[in-house]
Amino acid sequence: MDTQIETLEFQAEARQLLQLMVHSIYSNKDIFLRELISNASDALDKLRLAAFQDKELQADTTDLHITLDVDSEARTLTVRDNGIGMSREEVVTLIGTIAKSGTADLLRKMKEAKDTAASTELIGQFGVGFYSAFMVGDKVTLLTRRAGETEATRWESGGEGTYTIETVADAPQGTSVTVHLKPEDAEDHLFDYTADWKIKEIVQRYSDFITWPVRMTVERDGESMVETINSMKALWARSKDDATEAEYNEFYKHISHDWTDPLETIQMKAEGTFEYQALLFLPAHAPLDLYMRERKRGVQLYVKRVFIMDDCEALMPEYLRFVKGVVDAQDLSLNVSREILQQDRQIQLMRRRLVKKVLSTVKSMMDTEKYQTFWKEFGPAVKEGLVNDFDNRETILEISSFETTHDAEKLSTLRQYIERMKDGQEHIYYLTGASRSTIENSPHMEAFSAKGYEVLILTDAVDEMWVDSIGEFDGKRFQSIAKGQVDLDTEEEKKDAESERDQQQKDFASLLTWMTKSLEENVKEVRLSSRLTTSPACIVGDAHDVTPTLEKMYRAMGQDVPHIKRILELNPAHPLVTGLRKAHDEGKDDADLAELLYGLALLAEGGDLNDAPRFTRLLADRLAQTL
């Protein structure tokens, strides 16, 4: 048989990441065993599921378990399972290389991290649990054979620049990971991981809830005997009084492969015609892949304590993709597929209840630091639900927080915004943009700032999608201050200014007509503005127009959206505009200046010029004429 022995090099980024594990900045090195046992448990879950789905699979499922073998003389600890195993190709893909999507981002963030805690949180988010073995071992050997296959694969690395991989003939079904332990070093928190008591302590602290038996050979009264050292109690089936916060935290880490405690734990139990139990968690940090296309989402699905699938998308909507946990149903088929789940009435009912429970939990957290953390990490994702979860829109609006012009430091709920509204104010005013600074300095803000009206500052990409479609909240309609006409004057102010406005319309009528014609390729109308106090001009859309940002987003998604012309508004009191009118009245039409005015308005709102070189040339020529 061709053993196909290869010595391969880690990729540069993978080597850097591996070195972080070898020279770990993480003080609690005990968690390496938790990670290896967690991986073994996953392999057992996957084998049982595969055996349900494929009756022809040549695999022994009669006694699925995890074994811990210690060799004190050789100073090795082996974690062995008889689960699904891996093929040679899977070993190369899953174990041989670490460099997958997000590696570069992880390394960059770790370099930016100011302290040890922040760095280790990032490691946990990336999910490199297998490599935690290098914190305690100077060499790791992996031997695996995939269920149903005859050939096995051995992988080995000393945690430096290379690893070896070879095909071998004899190996039991499943995977064994042998850690060649470093010398004990209490100062570096390296304990004796060949000691029975230490292994039991770690298992009972971190892996007691694993649903498979974790076995170890122990010496008792001079005799060797095999002992199961975990309780195997399903944590989600216990009452809240029968489980500790520490147990919940460890269970979360087991299913999420996160190394930090969850922000919030949610437990549910439904009884009656359709029974299920759920144990859900809100993470404390957004994973690196939260906004990546290839991300996984969904909670684990069990049926009567039998693992069915990871990342069950049918149970959790896209906008709650960060929620982790387990749902254990009593009345589903063990052979249920992802396709069937999408149509299953019971699954849809469970999903509705789970979503409502998650949202109500977030609502109960409001006015706490936990909520502030949650919204900072997951707010943009949650707001995606405003676009596609019509049933829960009102609740999502209730739990959402926004930046506003009221306070530069604190976020505000819509309820708080409404409580601060001026007498007679009928709308919730907002402006979308790339950043708070861009919005605060936008010409559109001038009249609102001058008259003391509060404006929502919406800077997340998803804000462009939902805000037009929502309509209203608590009877108050959302109104973009960059669309339609703005009328902030009281009836008395309107009456006092009526004659002046009428005169301005007469004075500027000819200029507005000419500029509309001159700029017809870019705008559909040029008109006088009631929203400007200091800027010469701004660009606005009609009340129901799609915004330029949304127009770009649609095009990026491959949709053919017609270009929408907008409206150029002029400030009749600005010297540049009055000078332009005077020149026009004298028969000196200045098309270049009109184009410059339009370009300035476009730049002021953070827009893109159609022809930046031409604009620069016109501006330079005009500036030169002033010298």
Lowest mean pLDDT of 62-71, 117-126, 291-300, 345-354, name the range.
117-126
- Residue 17 gets which letter from DSSP? H
Residue 114's pLDDT band, with cuts at 50, 70 and 90, is: very low
Residues 86 and 161 reside in one and the same domain: yes
pLDDT computed for residue 360 by the predictor: 97
**Residue 330, burial from CB neighbour count under 10 angstroms (0-12, 13-18, 19+):** middle
Per-residue pLDDT tens for 270-289? 887 788 999 999 999 998 88
Residues 180 and 107 reside in one and the same domain: yes
6 occurs within a structural domain: no
Question: Does position 319 have pLDDT exceeding 90, yes or no?
Answer: yes
Residues 58 and 182 reside in one and the same domain: yes
Q: Average pLDDT of the chain?
A: 86
Print the domain residue range for 329.
Answer: 235-376
Write out the two tokens for 316: 């959790």
387 occurs within a structural domain: no
Helix 103-112 × helix 12-22 angle, to 10°: 50
382 occurs within a structural domain: no
Write out the two tokens for 620: 């330079």
Residues 466 and 524 reside in one and the same domain: no
pLDDT computed for residue 116 by the predictor: 47
Q: What is the count of structural domains for the chain? A: 4
Residues 513 and 588 reside in one and the same domain: yes
3 occurs within a structural domain: no
406 occurs within a structural domain: yes
Annotated binding site for ATP: 35, 39, 81, 86, 100-102, 125-130, 175, 338
- Mean pLDDT for 603-624 is 90
Other CB atoms within 10 Å distance of the CB of residue 503? 11
Specify the 3-state DSSP secondary structure of 302.
Answer: strand
Which alpha helices (DSSP H) does 262-344 contain, by range?
Answer: 338-343
pLDDT computed for residue 127 by the predictor: 42
Residues 288 and 424 reside in one and the same domain: no
Residues 37 and 172 reside in one and the same domain: yes
Which residue among 480, 514, 540 closes a domain?
480
Q: Which of 324, 311, 292 is nearest to 124 (CA)?
A: 324
User: Which amino acid is residue 385, in one-letter code?
Assistant: G
385 occurs within a structural domain: no
Which alpha helices (DSSP H) does 295-392 contain, by range?
Answer: 338-343, 345-365, 369-383, 385-388
Residues 437 and 421 reside in one and the same domain: yes
Residue identified by tokens 């299913």 is: 255
Annotated binding site: 35, 39, 81, 86, 100-102, 125-130, 175, 338
Residue 124's pLDDT band, with cuts at 50, 70 and 90, is: very low
Question: Does position 153 have pLDDT exceeding 60, yes or no?
Answer: yes
**Using CA atoms, how far apart are residues 155 and 489, in angstroms rounded to an integer?**
75
8 occurs within a structural domain: no
Per-residue pLDDT tens for 13-50? 667 667 766 665 556 788 889 889 988 998 999 998 88
Other CB atoms within 10 Å distance of the CB of residue 469? 11
Which residue among 429, 451, 480 closes a domain?
480
**Using CA atoms, how far apart are residues 508 and 494, in angstroms rounded to an integer?**
19
Residues 35 and 145 reside in one and the same domain: yes
Residues 90 and 194 reside in one and the same domain: yes
Continuous segment of H or E residues that includes residue 528? strand 523-528
CATH label of the domain that carries residue 349: 3.30.230.80
Which residue among 329, 359, 376 closes a domain?
376
pLDDT computed for residue 30 by the predictor: 87
Question: What residues contact residue 579 under an 8 Å CB cut-off, 6+ apart?
Answer: none
Per-residue pLDDT tens for 396-412? 999 999 999 999 999 99
391 occurs within a structural domain: no
Question: Does position 297 have pLDDT exceeding 70, yes or no?
Answer: yes
Residues 548 and 598 reside in one and the same domain: yes
CATH label of the domain that carries residue 49: 3.30.565.10
CATH label of the domain that carries residue 471: 3.40.50.11260
Which alpha helices (DSSP H) does 402-542 contain, by range?
Answer: 414-420, 436-440, 446-451, 463-470, 491-518
pTM: 0.73
Question: Does position 512 have pLDDT exceeding 70, yes or no?
Answer: yes
pLDDT computed for residue 489 by the predictor: 74
- Mean pLDDT for 174-201 is 91
Residues 567 and 451 reside in one and the same domain: no
